[in-house]
Chain A
Amino acid sequence: MNQVKVIEGSEAVALAVRACRPQVISAYPISPQTHIVEWLAKMVADGELDSEFVNVESEFSAASVISGASAAGSRAYTASSSQGLLLMTEVLYASAGMRLPFVITGVNRAISVPISIQIDQQDTISLRDSGVIQFYVESSQEAYDTHIAAFKIAEDPGILLPVMVCMDGWILTHSYERVSMMEQKEVDRFLPPFQPIHFLDVNNPKTWGSHTEADVLMEFKYAVHGAMQNGKERMKEIFSELANMTGRNYGGLIEAYRTEDAEIILVAIGSLAGTIKEAVDELRSNNERVGLVKIRCYRPFPHEDIWDAIKGAKIVLVTEADFSMGSEGAVGMDLKSKLCGRPNSPHVVDFITGLGGREVNKRTIYQIVQKGQEVLASGGYLPEPYWVDLNRNILP
C-alpha cells in the first residue's frame, strides 16, 4: 500500500532520491535548495540511506564530484539553485558531452544582481544549451514521481545524459502537500541498479576526455542533440511505465489541459501551471475557450507534442519567468522558432511574469488573456515581449 503523508516538498524530493539508491550524493548549501540536501544528510546520518555523502567546498565541486562518481560507475545526485547552478555550468556542459548520467534538482531561484532568494526560472533556463535534459514540475507529488523517472531516463543506454528536475523554490520546496510515496520494492522494480556502458575500471583501462579536432567535434555535439531528440519517445515510455505503477499520469513531455477546442492557449512551465489551470477552469465556466499547455520536458523541446496541442488555436500566450536580455523569453523563443514558417500556425505572444518572485495569481492570468485577446484583435503580432505588472513609474 502506498504511503501518503503531508510533507514538505524538499522532503518529498529527498524521499524520492533515497528510494533510487544513489551511491554518491554531493552537497553544497544554497537557498532554497538546502532543505533537500539536509534531509538527505539526516537520512545518511541515521543509517536510513546508504550513500557516500560528500560535503564540498563549492557547487563547482558538487557537480564535479558526481561527475567523477558517475564516470566510475556509480549512480549520483546533487541539488542546487541560482548562483550555484550557474557555477556548475561548465561542469554540466562537460558531463553532458562525456555522457555521464546523473540527476540534479534545480530549485528555481532568481539570479543576481540584484541578489534575491525569490523565485524565477532564469537559473535553470540559462543551462538550456548545455545538453542536460530538463523537466519542470508543478507540484511536490510531481517532483517526487519525476525524480524517480529521471534516474531511469538518464541511465537509459540510448540517452545517457545528466537530467535536471526543476522545481520552484519556496512554493514547492518549502510548502506542505499530500504526497503519495511508492514502496521501495516497487521503485527497485522500476529502477534496477545502474549498468554503465563503460566506467573507470583497472581491468579495462579506457580514456575519458580526449581532445578532438574539427573532423569529429561537430559529430560529438550532434550525438548529444541526437540522444535528446531520439530519446523523446523513450522518455514518454518511461513516464508511462511509471504512471502505470503509480496511477499518476502527467501526460508525457507536455500536459495538454483543456486545449481541444481552445482558441487561446497559454503555455507555461513549473508551478505556475497549477495557477493557470484554475484560471482556465474559471474562464471556461464563462465560456471562454482557453486552454493550457504545460511543458514538462523543456530540453529536449517537445515541439511536435506542443504543435499537436496548439495547432487549432488562434493565439498562444507563453507566460514565463525568465528573460534573455536583449531579446525575449527563452520558452517564447523556442516556440516561435519551431512555428516559424509552419503554415496556419497560431500567433505566439511572449509574456514575462514573476521575475524575482513577483506574485502571479489568477488575476494576472486574466490580464494576460485579455492582453492576448487585444493582440489577436489587432492582427496578432507583438514585436516586443510583454512584461506583466511592470511598474514603469519606478524605472530610472
Chain B
Amino acid sequence: MDLQQISNQEDLFASGHRACHGCGMSLAVRHILKATGKNVIVVTPTGCLETFASPYGYSPWRVPWIHHLFENGPSIATGIVAALRAQKRDGVRVLVIAGDGSTFDIGFGALSGMLERGDDVLYICVDNEAYMNTGGQRSAASPMYSSTTTDPAGRKSLGKTQNKKDLPFIVAAHGVPYVAIASVAYLKDLQKKVKKAMEYHGPRYIQVHTPCPSVWGFPSDRTLEIGRLAVNSALVPLFEMEWGKVTSIQKIKKKIPVTDYLKSQKRFSHLFKKDQGDAELANIQAIANQHIEKFGLLARTKTGS
C-alpha cells in the first residue's frame, strides 16, 4: 500500500483531540481506524487515550465509542458482541483500544476471560509502558530499569527490577487466532496487521508500541525515531503469531546496541550516570539478544549473518 493510498483514506479520528504534541498513541489510533474502516464499535478503558479523546462535548471519534471503566474494556466488548449477535447486526466488528495499565494490570483478568470465551473482539493495546494519564507510574508493561514515578531511580534504586510482562505470549497461550506486536514507527506495517486481524474471527490481540514524548523524555518530533530505535535494538520485536505459532517477523536490517535507544530518553538517564548502570545496561542488552535469538531477528546478508 503506498503513501498516497493511505493519505486518501477516511479519517475516523478527528482533529482537535487533546493529546500531547507528538503523541504516539494518537497517531496509532488514526491508522488503526484507517485500517478497520467505519463499521466498528470501539471500547476504550480509562487512560490517556480515553482522557484526551473524550472531554464532554468534544469527541474525535467518528465511530461509535464507549468508555465505561478502567478494568472492564474486554467485558464491555463481550457484551457488545453478544448484543450484535442477538440483533443480527452482521458486519459490525468490535475493537478495544486500551492502554497498557488497563491491559497488563487492572483489566488482565477481564482480558483473560474474554480470550478464554473466544469472543470476536480485536483487542489493541497502545503501549506507552506506564500509567501515563496519571503522570507515568509503573505498570507491568514498563521496561526493566525504566524510572517511573512509583518505581523511580534514586540513591538506592535503579528503577523497575522486573522485566516487562510477556503479554503477547500469555494471550497466545489462550489459543487465539492472531497475536501481533506492531509499532507506531512502522505505520504501514501497523495497518497491515490490523487489516490481517480483521480477517479473523475470535479474539485477536495487537500490542502497539507507542512512545510518549512527554514522559519518556524526548522531543516531540522524535516519536517515530524513538520507535524505530526500539525496534532496531531488538527490545521491541515485531512479529505475528497465528494460532500460537510465530508466522512472521520483521527482521532488523541495521541492529543497534540498546544503549542507542535508551540514552535518548530521560526515563533511562540514570543508567548513564558515572559509576552506575553498566551491569543493568548489560542485562537489558541480554534481553535484546534473547529476542534476536528467539525470533531470528537479524537479517541474513550475502556475506552470512
Using a CB–CB cutoff of 8 Å, the interface residues on chain A facing chain B are 23-24, 26, 51-52, 54-58, 60-61, 64-74, 76, 90-91, 94-95, 98, 200-202, 204-213, 216
Contacts and interface: CB of A to CB of B under 8 A. Distances in A.
Given A23-B87, A98-B68, A205-B61, A57 B110 contact: yes
Interface residues of B, number: 43
A73 B65 contact: no
Contact of B113 (A58, A66, A207, A212): A58
B41 A72 contact: yes
Contacts of A57: 109-110, 112-113, 116
Contact of B51 (A26, A54, A211, A213): A211
B219 interface: no
Nearest to A55: B117
Main secondary structure of the interface of A (DSSP, over half): mixed
B79 A69 contact: yes
Interface in B26-42: 38-41
A76 B66 CA distance: 17
A91 B69 contact: yes
A207 B59 contact: yes
B133 to A, nearest CB: 11
A64 B56 contact: no
B79 A26 contact: yes
A23 B109 contact: no
Contact of B66 (A54, A73, A90, A200): A200
Contact of B80 (A90, A200, A209): A200
A65 B87 CA distance: 15
Most interface-central of B68, B87, B109 (chain A CB within 10 A) = B68
Interface of B: 38-41, 43, 50-51, 54-57, 59, 61-69, 71-72, 74-80, 82-87, 92, 109-110, 112-113, 116-117
Contacts of A69: 79-80, 82-83, 86
Complex A-B, nearest 9 residue pairs according to Cβ-Cβ distance, in ascending order: A68-B79, A57-B113, A209-B67, A23-B86, A64-B75, A72-B83, A74-B83, A68-B76, A61-B75
A72 B42 CA distance: 11
Nearest to B119: A54
B66 A209 contact: yes
A291 B18 CA distance: 61
A58 B83 CA distance: 19
B122 to A, nearest CB: 15
B198 to A, nearest CB: 14
